Amino acid sequence: MYMYDEIDQSLVDERVIQFRDQVNRRMTGELSEDEFKPLRLMNGVYLQLHAYMLRVAIPYGTLSSEQMRKLAWIAKKYDRNYGHFTTRQNLQFNWPKLEDLPDILAELASVQMHALQTSGNCIRNVTADQFAGVAADEVVDPRIYAEIIRQWSTLHPEFTYLPRKFKIAVTGSEIDRAAVRFHDIGLIAKRNGAGELGFEVIIGGGLGRTPFVGPTIRDFLPERHLLSYLEAALRVYNQLGRRDNMYKARIKIQVHETGAETFTEMVEAEWAQIRDTAVDLAAGEKQRIADFFRPPRYRASADAEAQLRLQLRDDRNFARWVETNVAPHKVTGYRIANISLKPIGGIPGDASSEQMDAVAALADRFSFSEIRVTHEQNLVLPHVRADDLYALWQTLKSYDLDTPNLGEISDMIACPGMDYCALANARSIPVAQQISERFADLDRQHNIGELKLKISGCINACGHHHAGHIGILGVDRKGEEYYQITLGGSGAEDASVGDIVGPAFPYDKVVDAVETLVDTYLDIRTDGERFLDTYRRVGKTPFKEALYGTD
């Protein structure tokens, strides 16, 4: 993991002092709310429906056990004993008091954490593949570059008042676990014919009210030019992005309206001017950062696999959990263990202080003190020995963290919706809970197989509904909550935006509608087909007929 040096530490410490002063100036009226708002947003502080909300950055989803314990402690001391892991690998506290916020930020700074740029019209906290460093399919650990981008984007003097927010995601693998095509900039690390490392650069993807799968604007950017290229792209956006209409201010609209080709030319022309300046990091600094991401000292035992096989044979429930929640690791004898934060009927992404503490302890015991947060709102212990999985699972059970549903229908993404969010048209969480309960039977879920269901409470699409195999969007119909259903979206390497299947459903009919869709799929799927594959093969019609009849 990256560790702060005195420079990094001074920045987060001074930010706390600065924010304390800003809060004071707001209290005395020296700052108007209008002037204070972007300042607090840049420190992750939102004003929600009922209270302030603090969004803590978990850069590229990597956490130490010590940091997790601090989050648990903050939840206990300053909030209501829980936190909410978000689709951008952040953690939200829903009930802090404004006057406590500087103290909370100081607590975070004490464990090398912050809430910088988790909101506001700036470059947001950068996200990455949650399996970074342990996935067998990656060409490089994307966190090295995510950390480089984190530093470069932190308090960037030119790009702190952009037309709109700006999100960057990085993956080191062809298998896209970071939804890179739905980001303002997505980066896919790859090697060229000569074996050199670089990035495919994708620009102008996004969800929200006008979803776009981002186009590739450069097939191969040599990695040493990463920052100058980003700086060029951001500069073009900062100068030309729309400022008269916030709904048209994201870069995706600019790319779409200018045309990807013309936009690319502008970025390339700007880049040509700065590509050999000091914007890019010197090799020494890059190496310094890369060294923090060296793998831990694995100590696989010779009979770890054999022991796991025995345990799998003897305990059917354990075997079920391993089958759904455990992924292969690049080192023989190790596994990646996913911890579902989607218990049946629970609130997707919520974790209590006790659960956070438990995961921290398990990370110390089994995973070199390291934890990951996924954009699908789950946690990961990235380095678990095969013969430790059983003991891990047993402890997870006692904290209700053992739900074997990863990638299945109850492992859904849901935004906070009307329960917290001032912009919502409809509730998301209760819909998620009811769907989860409807499909509580794990055998049934397992039979359905991979199904990504995503729910947003309004068109802003924080729940990524466009990218759901089944997407649900809350809409307002004369003051009543309705839900529009989309089919066939994907946030993975085969990214696509879902199609609206037909008229929206009222609150009390939406769960039935989901069940009808699933049953229709089960009727018509062929062997080995996921819901998404079936939909792509047969199209909308059978699903539409099942929902609305044939006329």
CA 132 to chain centre: 13
Q: Does 5 bind other proteins (CB under 8 A)?
A: yes
Q: Which stretch binds other proteins (CB under 8 A): 63-71, 182-190, 275-283, 433-441?
A: 275-283
- Residue from 156, 330, 397, 544 binding other proteins (CB under 8 A): 156
Phi and psi at 53, nearest 5°, equal -130, 140
Q: Does 152 bind other proteins (CB under 8 A)?
A: yes
Q: Which does 463 bind (CB under 5 to 8 A by kind): ligand SF4, other proteins, none?
A: ligand SF4
- Residue from 157, 193, 479, 549 binding other proteins (CB under 8 A): 157
Contact 228, 242 (CB under 8 A): no
**CB of residue 241 vs other proteins: minimum separation in angstroms?**
9
Nearer to other proteins by Cβ, of 192 and 273: the residue is 273
Amino acid at 246: M
Which residue is associated with the tokens 């990863």? Answer: 406
Nearer to ligand SF4 by Cβ, of 198 and 348: the residue is 348
Q: Does 242 bind other proteins (CB under 8 A)?
A: no
* DSSP three-state, residue 312: helix
Q: Which does 256 bind (CB under 5 to 8 A by kind): ligand SF4, other proteins, none?
A: none
User: What one-character DSSP code corresponds to residue 138?
Assistant: B
Contact 422, 413 (CB under 8 A): no
Torsion from C-alpha of 476, 478, 481, 485, nearest 10 degrees: -60
**CB of residue 92 vs other proteins: minimum separation in angstroms?**
24
Among candidate residues 508, 518, 506, 511, the one with its CA nearest the CA of residue 474 = 506
Q: Does 527 bind other proteins (CB under 8 A)?
A: no
Q: Does 380 bind other proteins (CB under 8 A)?
A: no
**CB of residue 425 vs ligand SF4: minimum separation in angstroms?**
7
Torsion from C-alpha of 375, 430, 443, 363, nearest 10 degrees: 40
Both tokens assigned to 220: 């191969």
Nearer to other proteins by Cβ, of 28 and 526: the residue is 28
Q: Which stretch binds other proteins (CB under 8 A): 28-36, 252-260, 367-375, 423-431?
A: 28-36
Amino acid at 463: G
**CB of residue 352 vs ligand SF4: minimum separation in angstroms?**
21
- Residue from 239, 301, 317, 541 binding other proteins (CB under 8 A): 239
Nearer to other proteins by Cβ, of 249 and 435: the residue is 249
Q: Does 123 bind other proteins (CB under 8 A)?
A: no
414-450 burial: b if 16+ Cβ within 10 Å, else e = bbbbbbbbeebbbbbbbbbbbbbebbeebeebeebbe
Which residue is associated with the tokens 């218990």? Answer: 343
Binding residues for ligand SF4 (CB under 6 A): 415-417, 421, 423-424, 428, 456-458, 460-463
Among candidate residues 27, 11, 185, 187, the one with its CA nearest the CA of residue 109 = 11
Which residue is associated with the tokens 């298998």? Answer: 175
Number of residues that bind other proteins (CB under 8 A): 45
Q: Which stretch binds other proteins (CB under 8 A): 15-23, 183-191, 256-264, 497-505?
A: 15-23
Amino acid at 239: Q
* DSSP three-state, residue 93: strand
**CB of residue 456 vs ligand SF4: minimum separation in angstroms?**
4
The binding site for other proteins (CB under 8 A) comprises: 5-8, 10-11, 14-15, 17-18, 22, 25, 29-32, 35, 38-39, 121, 151-152, 154-163, 235, 238-239, 243, 273, 277-279, 281-282, 284-285, 288
